[in-house]
Amino acid sequence: MNVIAREAEHLLPVYAQMDLEPIRAEGPWIHTADGRKILDFYGGHAVAALGYGHPRLVETLNRQAQLLMFQSNAVALEVRARAAQRLAEFAPAGLTHAFFVNSGAEANENALRMACKATGRARVVALEHGFHGRTAAAAAVTWGAEKWYGFPQRPFEVVFVSREDPDALRTAVDERTAAVILEPVQGVAGAYDVPLEVLKAARAACDAAGAWLISDEVQSGMGRSGYAFAIERAGVTPDILTMAKSLGGGFPVGALITRPEIAATQQVGDLGTTFGGGPLACAIVETVIDVIEREQLVQRVARLSQRIRETCIVGPVTAIQGAGFLLGLRTSRPARDINRELLARDIMAGGSADPHIVRLLPPYILDDSHVVQLATALKEIAA
């Protein structure tokens, strides 16, 4: 029986799965049960920022597991203090206080809760085509969630506006608005880079209305955009920035980070989590940031992203959008077919909500030879 059938015996059948079985991985390479070696341009949904088996991450996990595997937020931990300090230093200037959680949706859920509570308002403005997660509040601001939302009602009123039109934002945000939430580069939508004027308009509209700007960088953050965080491209500082995925390099961890003035309003009991901020996750966060900085991976992402843009508009690829290692290859034929043909050439890429976008979310540790391999494979595929 193959592994897909084995899973189906005792797991809910909620995922469309690729026809391969990874058994181990190192660097950007995934080895499968049938002996294939696949170059990973998908990073497990943008998670494997440092590739697989990075010696520093493995060493950190081993060391921290032996030292102290878990303690909750009921006690202060040196490793948690260090992780928060590193994150504050890595984050845009002015964002100084973090709250650790376990996933991207949980980070957004808490950011939205904080905004509604602090402003006393019950309306959130979100961008069309945005994705923010599957929990009650995060899914409420996710475009198209009607299809799968599931809950009888949303926790607040949601207004969706065009992702292209700064004026639409200016009009939508008023004294009833608690927050604007947006992804500066929309991931699930197909690596769509929201125009900088829209990001600037969001900041200005929030300032004018006394609303909060929440930058969801669960996918675009932690260096993936070729900047530490994608919103920095617009010179805009959000009130809250959320992150997950690459933050843990494969270990489940999410976080939000905010301004000191907001942090000062938070009181004991306002937020909480059992696992968030555990010592394993915090040790990993500290190491991920340390590796990104020491190995100059943000610069590497920016340079190799440019190489992809220069060399990969070939074969079925007609244009490239996105930023850094969150790229969308626009394809003349359905992306699903291109991905199948890439996989036949031992390259894994991803899809998106746009049926003509192949999404690339590779590990930051790629080198030029991997980009050549991608370009060569694309050239072989019919336009």
Ligand X SMILES: Cc1ncc(COP(=O)(O)O)c(C=O)c1O
Q: Does 215 bind ligand X (CB under 6 A)?
A: no
Would you tell me how many other CB atoms lie within 10 Å of the CB of residue 296?
Answer: 11
- Near ligand X by CB under 6 A: residue from 64, 119, 177, 219: 219
Task: Take residue 367 and report the two structure tokens written for it.
Answer: 């080198």
Q: Does 139 bind ligand X (CB under 6 A)?
A: no
* Residue given tokens 């927050």 in the structure block: 179
CB 348 within 8 A of CB 38: yes
What is the torsional sign of CA 110, 57, 59, 86?
Answer: negative
Q: Does 202 bind ligand X (CB under 6 A)?
A: no
Find the shortest distance in angstroms from Cβ 43 to ligand X: 12
Query: Of 26-65, which residues contact ligand X (CB under 6 A)?
Result: 45
Find the shortest distance in angstroms from Cβ 361 to ligand X: 10
Q: Does 104 bind ligand X (CB under 6 A)?
A: yes
Q: Which is nearer to ligand X, 108 or 321 (CB)?
A: 108
Q: Which is nearer to ligand X, 133 or 277 (CB)?
A: 133
Query: Of 238-277, which residues contact ligand X (CB under 6 A)?
Result: 244
Q: Does 216 bind ligand X (CB under 6 A)?
A: yes
In the chain, the amino acid numbered 308 is I
Q: Please provide the size of the chain in residues.
A: 383
The rounded distance, in Å, linking the Cα atoms of 79 and 60 is: 11
CB 110 within 8 A of CB 118: no
Best CA proximity match to 248, nearest among 106, 125, 74, 150? 106
Find the shortest distance in angstroms from Cβ 182 to ligand X: 10
CB 232 within 8 A of CB 185: no
The rounded distance, in Å, linking the Cα atoms of 51 and 157 is: 40
The rounded distance, in Å, linking the Cα atoms of 42 and 361 is: 5
Q: Which is nearer to ligand X, 47 or 347 (CB)?
A: 47
Q: Which is nearer to ligand X, 244 or 365 (CB)?
A: 244
Q: Does 222 bind ligand X (CB under 6 A)?
A: no
Q: Does 103 bind ligand X (CB under 6 A)?
A: yes
Q: Does 225 bind ligand X (CB under 6 A)?
A: no
- Near ligand X by CB under 6 A: residue from 27, 166, 184, 187: 187
CB 285 within 8 A of CB 103: no
Task: Take residue 40 and report the two structure tokens written for it.
Answer: 């990973």
Count of residues near ligand X by CB under 6 A: 15
Find the shortest distance in angstroms from Cβ 368 to ligand X: 28
Q: Which is nearer to ligand X, 45 or 259 (CB)?
A: 45
Q: Does 131 bind ligand X (CB under 6 A)?
A: yes
Backbone angles phi, psi at 338, to 5 degrees: -65, -40
Find the shortest distance in angstroms from Cβ 254 to ligand X: 6
Cα dihedral 28→31→35→36 (10° resolution)? -40
Find the shortest distance in angstroms from Cβ 127 to ligand X: 11
- Positions touching ligand X (CB under 6 A) are 45, 103-105, 108, 131-133, 183, 187-188, 216, 218-219, 244
